[in-house]
């Protein structure tokens, strides 16, 4: 049987939003009868890669790079059947505001996989001068 993944929080208070320059809160319950081998997080922009390479946001900061994540988590998770995945990902200040796609892929030690997907919004940082 494939691992069971329930996301309790994506963004502070499960808002599915994060402000550039802050941490993205992720909290999920994972149950894997055949024990967890790895947890992979992938986050990528929904915007077409051919879009303008930079945007000036209202904070005056030039957003010049799409933020993306492709990370594998094993430490503290590998070999356990049940766990609470709780991580904070740093979103750089220069991350382009907009819509992003979130994937969490859990693979167990028998090779079974579960992929959970959701939408995420990166908001521009507002810097007071």
Q: Please report the pLDDT score of residue 59 as a whole number.
A: 45
Q: Please report the pLDDT score of residue 128 as a whole number.
A: 72
Q: Please report the pLDDT score of residue 50 as a whole number.
A: 38
* 2: phi then psi, degrees, rounded to nearest 5: -70, 155
Q: Which among 46, 41, 44 has a CA at the least distance from the CA of 104?
A: 41
C-beta separation of 31 from 55 below 8 A: no
Distance in angstroms (rounded) separating the CA atoms of residues 88 and 27: 9
pTM of the complete model: 0.83
**pLDDT (tens place) for every residue of the chain, 129 residues total:** 999 999 999 999 999 999 999 999 999 999 999 999 999 999 999 874 434 444 444 444 445 567 999 999 999 999 999 999 999 999 999 899 999 999 999 999 999 999 999 999 999 988 777
Bridging pattern class, strands 98-108 and 113-123: antiparallel
Q: Please report the pLDDT score of residue 9 as a whole number.
A: 98
- DSSP state at residue 109: T
Q: Please report the pLDDT score of residue 65 as a whole number.
A: 63
Q: Please report the pLDDT score of residue 55 as a whole number.
A: 47
């Amino acid at each position: 049987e494939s691992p069971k993944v329930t996301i309790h929080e994506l963004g502070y208070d499960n808002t599915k939003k994060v402000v550039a320059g802050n941490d993205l809160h992720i909290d999920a319950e994972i149950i894997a009868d055949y024990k967890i081998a790895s947890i992979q997080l992938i986050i990528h922009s929904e915007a077409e890669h051919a879009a303008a390479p930079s945007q000036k946001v209202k904070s005056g900061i030039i957003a010049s790079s799409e933020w993306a994540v492709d990370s594998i988590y094993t430490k503290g998770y590998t070999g356990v059947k049940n766990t609470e995945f709780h991580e904070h990902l740093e979103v750089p200040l220069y991350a382009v505001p907009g819509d992003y796609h979130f994937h969490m892929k859990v693979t167990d030690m028998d090779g079974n996989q579960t992929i959970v997907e959701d939408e995420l919004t990166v908001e521009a940082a507002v810097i007071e001068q």
